[in-house]
A and B are shown apart, each in its own frame.
Chain A
Amino acid sequence: MIFSDLYVRFYNEAFKFVDAQGPGELEKFFAAISGNVEKRMLEKLKTGGIDALFEHYRMIRREENCEMTLTRIPHGMELAMDGCPSLGKVLDNDAAPSPRYCEHCVNWSLPLYRKAGLFCIYSIGERDVPQCREWIFDNAESAYSKRSELLSARVNIQCNFE
């Protein structure tokens, strides 16, 4: 057993090990993680849409002790993570952090939201700063518009839509 409080440092060790196994191994691992989260969340998101996702993140904010601001916006929501406890613990660690640690979050969430019919724009920012931003919409037009705005402002983003 790994205690829940201490899990993310174990997760970080798993990422370093899998990444060292060869090109593409970590991407396969991320995809499998997304598949596992899907078992807990996909149906909830398909039926509840943005409302269900907003409630999910309210629960995450409480349980994981996040410094996170959640805002409802037209046809979607914005998540501003100002203190990610997951990366925070990985940085407060006697072992070295995986330089790709933050990628797990993007890579489990983007495919899952796409399957649930949600459009997501993710901005990680610096890999050693526990902050990121997400915008999630249930409407393609709103997502395209936000993406244009962010690209115009030269924000580095990843999206789950063309």
Chain B
Amino acid sequence: MRYRETGNLHYTFHDSVRFVMDYLSEHYGQAGLEEVIRANALEVHRSIKNRLDAGDPSELVAHWIYYLNREEAPCNIHIAANTVTIEIPECPAFRELHKMGRPVSEHLCLGTRLTNQFWCENSPFECVHEKLGEAHCRQTFKRRAKA
């Protein structure tokens, strides 16, 4: 895994993410926000992308498990031959923003959905993102059927 952060966590960054996403959307439209999310997915996290392109979801799975664990976010992860399902009953970003009394934003979920989408683009995988509650989602990565 390319980035394996350790030490303490600064949860206030969830408010910073929320603020930056809202600012980008308000000043540069959905296209501006998407451009930054795309750069983050494809340039910052290019090793996840490269492995997915090669048909290997191991770094993607390691990324989700490692950072959900760091954020003490319960999750259900199911790995099968051609499918990886990650269900997050309480998103840590929403949890922390509620604790801080700061506003939440739908852009947080959009960030997750688009990041997965950009990672899967032109790869052997596709991702379905289901929002099951305000802070509850399920992401299913599925190997595309061969044409």
**Interface residues in chain A, defined as those with a beta carbon under 8 Å from any beta carbon in chain B:** 1-14, 16-18, 21, 28-29, 32-33, 36, 40, 60, 62-65, 89, 92-96
- B40 interfacial contact with A, CB 8 Å: yes
Decide if A95 touches B44 in the complex (CB within 8 Å).
yes
Decide if A94 touches B13 in the complex (CB within 8 Å).
no
B2 — which chain A residues lie within 8 A by C-beta? 94
B102 — which chain A residues lie within 8 A by C-beta? 40
Complex CA distance for A98 and B15, rounded to whole angstroms: 22
Decide if A13 touches B9 in the complex (CB within 8 Å).
no
B111 — which chain A residues lie within 8 A by C-beta? 1-2
Complex CA distance for A31 and B16, rounded to whole angstroms: 14
0 or 1 for each of B69-92: is its CB under 8 Å from A? (1 = yes): 011000000000000000000011
Decide if B16 touches A9 in the complex (CB within 8 Å).
no
Decide if A14 touches B13 in the complex (CB within 8 Å).
no
- From A13, A18, A28, A64, give the contact of B10 (CB < 8 A): A64
Residue from B12, B32, B91 with most neighbouring chain A CB atoms (10 Å): B12
**Closest residue on chain B to residue A10 by CB atoms:** B40
Query: In the complex, which residues 1-43 of chain B have their Cβ closer than 8 Å to any Cβ of chain A?
Result: 2-3, 5-17, 19-20, 23-24, 27-28, 32, 35-36, 39-40, 43
Decide if A14 touches B20 in the complex (CB within 8 Å).
yes
Decide if A36 touches B19 in the complex (CB within 8 Å).
yes
Check A94/B67 contact, CB under 8 A, given A4-B13, A62-B8. no
Decide if B5 touches A1 in the complex (CB within 8 Å).
no
A1 — which chain B residues lie within 8 A by C-beta? 14, 17, 91-93, 108-109, 111-112
Residue from A1, A13, A63, A93 with most neighbouring chain B CB atoms (10 Å): A1
Decide if B36 touches A40 in the complex (CB within 8 Å).
no
Complex CA distance for A32 and B22, rounded to whole angstroms: 11
Decide if A6 touches B67 in the complex (CB within 8 Å).
yes
Decide if A13 touches B19 in the complex (CB within 8 Å).
no
Complex CA distance for A96 and B27, rounded to whole angstroms: 23
Complex CA distance for A89 and B7, rounded to whole angstroms: 13
- From A7, A17, A36, A62, give the contact of B39 (CB < 8 A): A17
B20 — which chain A residues lie within 8 A by C-beta? 10-11, 14, 33
Decide if A14 touches B36 in the complex (CB within 8 Å).
yes
- B117 interfacial contact with A, CB 8 Å: no
Closest-CB distance, A156 to chain B (whole angstroms): 27
| Interface pairs (9), CB distance under 8 Å | A1-B17, A3-B67, A4-B96, A5-B3, A5-B5, A10-B20, A11-B20, A17-B35, A95-B44
Decide if B46 touches A4 in the complex (CB within 8 Å).
no
B11 — which chain A residues lie within 8 A by C-beta? 4, 63
